[in-house]
């Protein structure tokens, strides 16, 4: 059995935190459908610390979906000038990690 290191533990806690926030937003009625949920997750991750290169690279090291960019967008690596846009890669990886742990959407009956 492999014991997760501190980076992996921190990343797992970040994913769990996002899932808890999504559940709370659904419970309060802030999120009322699957599209709103997906937009909320994307915006939440986009506004997180992964905009910084160090956190983005750490995300990619810990993510089970480090290849999410190529699977979702294509083979071209996102660039910012002459540098790799690590944040864009991390955003899609983290979004997929969250999506992999989401329960199936169930419409609430009125």
49 or 82, which is more confident: 82
Say yes or no to pLDDT of 1 above 50. no
Confidence of residue 4 (pLDDT cuts 50, 70, 90): low
All structural domains of the chain with their residue ranges: 6-101
Confidence of residue 109 (pLDDT cuts 50, 70, 90): low
- Range list of β-strands (E), the chain: 79-80, 83-84
Amino acid 2: pLDDT: 56
| pTM for this model (two decimals) | 0.85
DSSP per residue, 20-37: HHHHHHHHHTS--SHHHH
Amino acid 20: pLDDT: 96
What is the per-residue pLDDT across 8-25, written as a single tens digit (0 to 9) for each?
999 999 999 999 999 999
Angle of helix 53-62 versus helix 6-28 axis, rounded to 10: 90
Closest CA to 20 of 12, 51, 90: 12
What is the per-residue pLDDT across 37-79, written as a single tens digit (0 to 9) for each?
999 999 999 888 888 888 999 999 999 999 999 998 987 889 9
Give the whole-angstrom CA distance, residue 54 versus residue 32.
34
Amino acid 110: pLDDT: 56
Amino acid 3: pLDDT: 47
């Amino acid at each position: 059995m492999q014991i997760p290191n501190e980076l992996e533990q921190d990343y797992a806690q970040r994913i769990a935190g996002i899932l808890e926030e999504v559940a709370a937003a659904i419970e309060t009625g802030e999120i009322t459908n699957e599209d709103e949920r997906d937009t909320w997750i994307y915006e939440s991750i986009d506004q997180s610390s992964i905009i910084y290169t160090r956190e983005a690279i750490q995300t990619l090291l810990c993510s089970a979906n480090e290849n999410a960019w190529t699977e979702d967008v294509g083979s071209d690596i996102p660039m910012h000038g002459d540098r790799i846009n690590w944040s864009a890669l991390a955003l899609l990886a983290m979004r997929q990690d969250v999506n992999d742990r989401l329960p199936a959407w169930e419409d609430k009956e009125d």
